[in-house]
Amino acid sequence: FAYSPTHPSSLPPKPVPPHPASSPPSLPPKPVPPHPPSSPPSLPPKPVPPYPASPPLPPKLPPSPYESRPPPPVPHQAPTLPPKLHKADAHLDEYRPAAVVPALPPKVPYQEDATVPEAWTEKILSEATTEAGEPLRTINVPLSLLDKFLDMAASNTRKNLETCAILSGTLVRIHCLKHNAFTVTTLIVPKQVATSDTCSTTNEEELFDYQDQHDLMTLGWIHTHPTQTCFMSSVDLHTHCSYQLMLPEAIAIVCAPKHDPKYVLLPLSVHEPQRFDDDRNPEASLTDPFHLFSYGIFRLTDPPGLQIIVNCRERPSFHPHPADEPLYTDAMDLGHVRLSQMDYKVVDMRK
């Protein structure tokens, strides 16, 4: 028969591609980097700088003579204590010698007939008391101090300005009299600012320093009333209250050169020639036992004056107080102040 290209059996067989393998062909192994070491490589040690050399020690001092002394000998054995007594031996105490107590020296007897100058007796002994019955020690004030202060305040008095000063002194003890008294020894005029009705001190530190250096006590104060009479104003009462709280015997001397003159009887033994201004005592006689002064020496009554002023809270400075109670009293008439001739010192700090 004839060949027919369309017949399938007449075609040659197609080549069969090989079947792929069950697994791809193995690749060549990758190179494995070496594992890092378990610890980093050790670094070389850092160089250590050498330490500075320590300075040499100073040479030892020679031994002190006190160290070279041998220590005091120490007893090898403490003294034995006496044996304790048992209760059964308590009856033997009455046979033991009692401890010997040294006799005290005899007391010095008080001499009742001690000889004391009569002048000292008058200056120290005082029977004055407060309104409550508490005794007041005597304050001796130099008689000429009043005139001296008025002379120092004359320039302010002519200008109608007040002047103040501090009465300083010491405490005198007389053992044979069993009493003591104060004596004004120094009149201190501090720096101050004044008006016609008031006077205030300034720079008090200078005043306190002077008193401390000379062992002086503040015994009171003195001031003038150039335009008023001789009395204690409300400002004076409050000012003196602080003085009397510190010292019950503190006094306030008020001088009124132009008002309220009064005669004071003085013993003839204290008289000496004195100069008086015309407007104070133009007819004064040097031998007359009566002298013309215009002053008053006061203290607060205790009670009731001191307590009333302490509890007073009224304002302004000049204000009324209860008139039915005596707030202050005279400290010279039957009081504890004695005027006598004695030396004193004047310190004017205003200059």
Read off the pLDDT of residues 14-50 as tens digits, 9 standing for 90 and up: 766 666 555 566 777 777 666 655 666 678 888 877 7
Residue 244 three-state SS: helix
Pairing mode of beta strands 139-142, 337-340 = parallel
What HEC string does 315-350 produce?
CCCCCCCCCCCCCEEECCCCCCEEEECCCCEEEECC
Average pLDDT of the chain is 76
pLDDT band at 4 (very low <50, low <70, confident <90, very high): low
Higher pLDDT, 225 or 18: 225
Q: What is the pLDDT of residues 105-152, one digit of tens each?
A: 776 554 444 444 555 555 566 688 999 999 999 999 999 999 899 999
Q: What is the pLDDT of residues 313-327, one digit of tens each?
A: 887 778 888 888 899
User: Out of 2.60.40.10, 3.40.605.10, 3.40.140.10, 3.50.50.60, which CATH number does the structure's domain 141-263+290-348 have?
Assistant: 3.40.140.10
pTM of the model: 0.59
CA distances from 170 to 167, 190, 211, 217 (A): 10, 19, 11, 6
Higher pLDDT, 316 or 254: 254
Please give the pLDDT value at position 282.
37
Does the structure show a pLDDT above 80 at 350? yes
Does the structure show a pLDDT above 90 at 206? yes
Domain-by-domain residue ranges, the chain? 141-263+290-348
d(CA 266, CA 269): 8
d(CA 51, CA 7): 111
Q: What is the pLDDT of residues 143-176, one digit of tens each?
A: 999 989 999 999 999 999 999 999 999 998 765 5
Partners of 284 in the beta sheet? none
pLDDT band at 271 (very low <50, low <70, confident <90, very high): very low
